[in-house]
Amino acid sequence: MKLNALVLPVMAAVLLTVGAPAFADCPTEGCPGQTVGTIEVPAEGALVSGYVRVAGFALNGNLVSNIDLYVDGTDEANRVTPAGGANVNLPRPDVMQAFPQYAGTPGAAPGFEMSFRAANYSNGSHKLYVRITDVTGCCYFLAPRTIRIDNAKNQPPFGVLDVPIPDSSVHANGVLAVAGWALDDRRVEHVDVFIDGLLEREAVIGVNRPDVAAYYPNVPDATSSGFVIFIDSTRLTNGVHTLTVKATDDQGQQGLLATRRFQVFNNAPNLPPFGEVEYPLLQATWFGNCLRLPGGPSGGEIRDTRYIMTVTGWALDTSIYAERGGVSHVFLELDGAVLKDTRGAFGTLGCRREFNLNNALVDCYGFYRPDLNVLYPGFTQSANAGFFFAVDVGYLLTDMGIKEGNHMLQIKAADKEDNVTLLKELPVNLECATQNLDPPPLGYVDDPSNYEFIGGIFPVFGWALDLDGVIRVRVLIDGVAQVDAVTGRDYAEYGLPSPDVSAIYPNYPQRGNSRWRFYLDTTKIANSEHDLLVEVIDGRGNYRSAGTRRFIVNNNTLVR
Residues 129 and 143: their CA atoms lie apart, in Å, by 7
pLDDT tier, 560 (very low <50, low <70, confident <90, very high otherwise): very low
Q: Are 333 and 339 in contact (CB under 8 A)?
A: yes
Q: What is the average pLDDT across 479-502?
A: 92
Is 70 exceeded by the pLDDT of residue 24? no
Which of 144-158, 239-253, 348-362, 423-437 is the least confident region? 423-437
Whether the Cβ atoms of residue 48 and residue 42 lie closer than 8 Å to each other: yes
Q: Which long-range contacts (CB under 8 A, 24 or more apart) does 333-338 make?
A: 333/409, 333/410, 333/412, 334/396, 334/402, 334/407, 334/408, 334/409, 334/410, 335/407, 335/408, 336/408, 336/410
pLDDT > 70: what percent of the chain? 88
Residue 407, pLDDT > 90, answer yes
Q: What is the mean pLDDT of the chain?
A: 84
Cβ proximity of 132 and 64 under 8 Å: yes
Rounded Cα–Cα distance for residues 541 and 468 (Å): 9
536-551 confidence digits (pLDDT tens): 999 888 888 888 888 8
- Separation CA 363–CA 353 (nearest Å): 9
How close are the terminal C-alpha atoms of the chain, in Å?
Answer: 37
- Return the minimum-mean-pLDDT range out of 116-125, 148-157, 277-286, 539-548: 277-286
Cα–Cα distance between 440 and 543 in angstroms, integer?
Answer: 9
Of 51, 29, 30, nearest to 41 by C-alpha is: 51
Lowest mean pLDDT of 185-199, 300-314, 342-356, 400-414, name the range: 300-314
pTM (2 d.p.)? 0.66
Q: How confident is the model at residue 57 (pLDDT cuts 50, 70, 90)?
A: very high
Mention every residue, 6+ apart, whose C-beta is less than 8 A from residue 46. 147, 148
Give pLDDT, residue 82: 61
- pLDDT of 2 reads 35
What's the mean pLDDT in 454-482? 91
Q: How far apart are CA 156 and CA 63, in angstroms?
A: 35
DSSP state letter for 510: T
Long-range contacts of 82-89 (CB under 8 A, 24+ apart): 82/557, 82/559, 84/556, 84/557, 85/114, 85/217, 85/556, 85/557, 85/559, 86/112, 86/113, 86/114, 87/112, 87/113, 87/114, 87/214, 87/215, 87/556, 88/64, 88/112, 89/63, 89/64
Q: Mind giving me the DSSP string for 91-104? A: --HHHHHH-GGGTT
Average pLDDT over residues 50-66: 89
* Confidence (pLDDT) at 11: 41
Q: Which residue did the predictor score with more confidence, 526 or 77?
A: 77
- Is the Cβ–Cβ distance between 234 and 317 less than 8 Å? no
Mind spelling out the 3-state secondary structure of 117-164?
A: EHHHCCCEEEEEEEEEEECCCCEEECCCEEEEECCCCCCCCEEEEEEC
Delineate the domains of the chain, giving CATH numbers in brackets. 3-149 (2.60.40.650), 158-266 (2.60.40.650), 269-435 (2.60.40.10), 442-553 (2.60.40.650)
Q: Look at residue 520 and tell me whether its pLDDT is greater than 80.
A: yes
Mean pLDDT, range 190-201, rounded to an integer: 94
pLDDT for 27-40, tens place per residue?
667 788 778 899 99
